[in-house]
Structure 1
Amino acid sequence: MPDHSSFSKNRHGRFRQSDILRHLFETVVERCLVQGLVGAEGFAVDASLIAADANKQRSVSGAEWSAQEAKENAGRSVQEYLAVLDDAAFGAASPVTPKFVSPSDPAAQWTGAHKGHAFFAYATNYLIDTDHGVILDVEATRAIRQAEVGASRTMIDRTENRFGLKPGYLVADSAYGSADNLAWLVKEKEIAPHIPVFDKSNRTDGTFSRANFNWDGEGDRYICPAGKELVQFRRTYATPRSGITSEGTRLYRASKKDCDACELKQRCCPNAVARKVPRDLNEDARDVARAIAGTPDYERSRHRRKKVEMLFAHLKRILRMARLRLRGPCGARDESLLAATAQNLRRLAKLRPSRLPAAMTA
């Protein structure tokens, strides 16, 4: 009989180097494809938080923790984190210093996203087919929005390269509705975004929001509720200017003369000389998402998105994966791959049960 340590050593050694768990997961997905359980009409993507095996009582302040000092007596999970520190999924997605860091598992993110007690967590990301809820790809990341959005792109590209599947539309929540992500879907991948636009331009003080201004693409201008135009430049410069701000927007300004004589000034810009409206460089992609949001297909796809939430509920309540048992980025990936493989096998057995030979049923 092999010693019990042989299993853990093989898991952290040759099994990981061979990427056998990823191969196992993709083999099950191929079986689902053969059985006709996967279409390319629409995919859904979402992320769910899984508690990490890290204790708040033994954590340190993010400002006090140093990756360079951790190298001296680094354990396996710390070494794994340092090896992938430049990956967007675990370190490079956001330059923000976390409030707390767990020395035993620094890749785990301190988060209070559940609006309750904060905890250390990873995010498991699913890309599923909306027909039968088959998981097409899975990726473990830190529990931050930038890493989750980056994981969705990775999974879409990997599914297309590995299986030749590209959806007609993608369903997701507003966390994936940033201008950059919508532009990537619309312009680069030519995928219809069935995603609510992540937009903070709506005002709550009773004044006009950006939605009250009509965009004129041919004239490169906005038209205000009073019928006046807002443009970028009102004179010609000897050296042409891009007009792009550091936030990646273009500012369209109204004339002070028009605003001074306007009866709607108190509802538009009561505290400013003239109204200005910012427009994102990828606002055209956001307009595509807004146009789709008013269609019957959008309503149907939003209902189908619930399948990915049901998979997360099954993951935590039935498979009991509410807390990770392994530490480090590789441990989170391994557990996510194994859990997704088990869920796909369950789906395959339920929808395409193997038939017993006639001799056995007689």
Structure 2
Amino acid sequence: MMGQAGNQDQLFYSFNLDEHVPRDHLLRGIDRFLDLGDLRQHLAPFYSHTGRPSIDPVLMVRMLVVGYCFGIRSERRLCDEVHLNLAYRWFCRLGLEDKVPDHSTFSKNRHGRFRQSEAFRYVFETVLRRCMSEGLVRGEGFAIDASVIKADANRARGVPGAEVVDWRKEEASSRAVREYLDALDAQNPGHDHAGEEQPPSTPPKNVSLTDPASRWTAASGGPAFYAYSTNYLIDLHAGVIMDVEATPAHRSQEVDATKTMVNRVEARFCIKPQRLVGDTAYGTAPMLGWMVQQKGIEPHVPVWDKTERKDDTLSSSDFDWNEQANEYRCPQGHALRSEWRQFTNPRSRITKADTVIYRASQHDCKQCPSKDRCCPNTPVRKIARSVHEAARDVARAISATPAYVQSRSDRKKVEMLFAHLKRILKLDRLRLRGLTGAQDEFLLAATAQNLRRMAKRLTPSGKQEVAMAQ
């Protein structure tokens, strides 16, 4: 006999939302480690004491965590998903009859009190402290790297970097443009940027009219686009993200972000790593000098060295350095010095590039049998020695140790986080514009990654693949 579902409405329902969320659901593990009990107190100074009650900020942050954990990039779609999905409702502490906030609420709070109070950084650091209390952070070794994320900027909506732009036109109504002009004012107080596109420095190749703080780049090897970089500082024990910083997609700014993050982690958590692992981009002389001489951190980083010659002539490494005599010795035994006579007023001899030039004697080079292999095109041989050369020597010595080999393998953990960010969390293109918009997205994504890390490493069912998490 064929059955047929009845359509008679029940008079009473007994429905427990908790019973309908699977025990192995990813959100159960995340909920165990997400404590936002102090968030309201953190935001209290930014709310009025009068008027109608606002949307609960804890509810909004929990909804955003759902969106970033499950790759829901649109806040409009996020509201629909929370309305329909029982697990999402359970995680956000919403009953079946509770109303989901409108998507416009997120924008109003993000550009207002959330940004003023640095609420997203507060949530990120709250989750990080939980990672530390659960034993996932050792603080012995950190890794640093950056990944390029496309900005929400049309490639066709740009102008050459050297072209003067009148920002007083309709583009000035954009929040990203106003933020960009405010940043220029901070760099050059008292300077009018209304009709100027850049501060007096080397301009970029192209400037976006919709998001001028983004950087024109072709880092992926394909067509150029406007982008930002997300910079991760991770602990190598379990791959926990210790800090994140948004920068325009430019190598020098990515390297500078390292100092900001290392100093911030030390100031807020009293943690300074013994070793810092990075690729060649972080092996510049000033960066190595900062790590070794200022911070006392072992640089497990390849040295950025352009002194090696490829035309069979002698390189700087073929010369012996004598620290006590402050001179180099060539293979023939001749000296290269920064000065060949004494001056009444001593001179530092440091160039604008933070180097000291050591020169051989013209008499020695003229009669030297190895001149054709040493300096065939110049009268004397010169060597530019960085003021941070001692730190570079430390990095070279570390590169010959087994610990360095292990560090090169450990560095893959930060690359895996970037792959997870783009493939699983779907953050391969930003939704928000401006540097602060990029920072908000990167902080929330890093928070989601740390929460997922705890849920999958510290819960009984976390080691299993959770189908609903994809």
Q: Same fold by TM (over 0.5)?
A: yes
**Residue 219 of structure 1 pairs with residue 325 of structure 2:** yes
Describe the shift of the 1:44–1:71 C-alpha distance in structure 2 as closer, same or farther (beyond 3 A). farther
Describe the shift of the 1:246–1:204 C-alpha distance in structure 2 as closer, same or farther (beyond 3 A). same
Alignment of 1:92-103 (within 5 A): 95-103=201-209
SS of equivalent to 1:84: helix
Q: Following TM superposition, by how much is the alpha carbon of 1:238 offset from its aligned partner in structure 2, in angstroms? A: 3.2
C-alpha contact (below 8 Å) 1:43/1:171 kept by paired residues: yes
When structure 1 is superposed on structure 2, of 169-178 and 62-71 the one drifting more is 62-71
C-alpha contact (below 8 Å) 2:207/2:216 kept by paired residues: yes
Matching residue within 31, 51, 57 for 2:156: 57
Identity among equivalent positions (%) equals 56
Deviations 1:98-157, CA, capped at 9 Å, x for gaps:
111111100110012222211100000000001110000001001111111111111101
Partners of 2:409 and 2:336 lie apart in 1 by 39
Instruction: Tell me what 1:160 maps to.
Output: 266
Letter matched to residue 434 of structure 2: G
Letter matched to residue 291 of structure 1: A
Letter matched to residue 148 of structure 2: L
SS of equivalent to 1:63: coil
**Residue 144 of structure 1 pairs with residue 244 of structure 2:** no
Matching residue within 179, 182, 187 for 1:83: 182
C-alpha contact (below 8 Å) 1:127/1:137 kept by paired residues: yes
Q: Following TM superposition, by how much is the alpha carbon of 1:94 offset from its aligned partner in structure 2, in angstroms? A: 10
C-alpha contact (below 8 Å) 1:65/1:101 kept by paired residues: no
Number of residue pairs the alignment of both structures matches:
354
C-alpha contact (below 8 Å) 2:227/2:248 kept by paired residues: yes
Letter matched to residue 319 of structure 1: L
Instruction: Tell me what 1:115 maps to.
Output: 221
Instruction: Tell me what 1:179 maps to.
Output: 285
TM-score, scaled to structure 1: 0.93
SS of equivalent to 1:77: helix
Partners of 1:322 and 1:131 lie apart in 2 by 26
C-alpha contact (below 8 Å) 1:93/1:146 kept by paired residues: no
**Residue 37 of structure 1 pairs with residue 143 of structure 2:** no
Describe the shift of the 1:103–1:272 C-alpha distance in structure 2 as closer, same or farther (beyond 3 A). same
SS of equivalent to 1:60: strand
Describe the shift of the 1:276–1:93 C-alpha distance in structure 2 as closer, same or farther (beyond 3 A). farther
Deviations 1:29-51, CA, capped at 9 Å, x for gaps:
00000000000110000000000
Deviations 1:277-296, CA, capped at 9 Å, x for gaps:
11011111111111111111
Partners of 2:428 and 2:281 lie apart in 1 by 22
Q: Following TM superposition, by how much is the alpha carbon of 1:2 offset from its aligned partner in structure 2, in angstroms? A: 5.1
Letter matched to residue 42 of structure 1: G
Q: Following TM superposition, by how much is the alpha carbon of 1:87 offset from its aligned partner in structure 2, in angstroms? A: 7.4
SS of equivalent to 1:85: helix
C-alpha contact (below 8 Å) 2:171/2:177 kept by paired residues: no
C-alpha contact (below 8 Å) 2:144/2:276 kept by paired residues: yes
Deviations 1:287-340, CA, capped at 9 Å, x for gaps:
111111111111111110010000000001111111001111111001100110
Where does the alignment leave 5 or more consecutive residues of structure 1 unmatched? 357-362
Q: How large is the Cα RMSD of the aligned pairs?
A: 2.2
Q: Following TM superposition, by how much is the alpha carbon of 1:241 offset from its aligned partner in structure 2, in angstroms? A: 2.2
When structure 1 is superposed on structure 2, of 261-270 and 2-11 the one drifting more is 2-11
When structure 1 is superposed on structure 2, of 58-67 and 298-307 the one drifting more is 58-67
Alignment of 1:1-362 (within 5 A): 3-66=102-165, 69=168, 73-85=172-184, 95-353=201-459
C-alpha contact (below 8 Å) 2:171/2:209 kept by paired residues: no
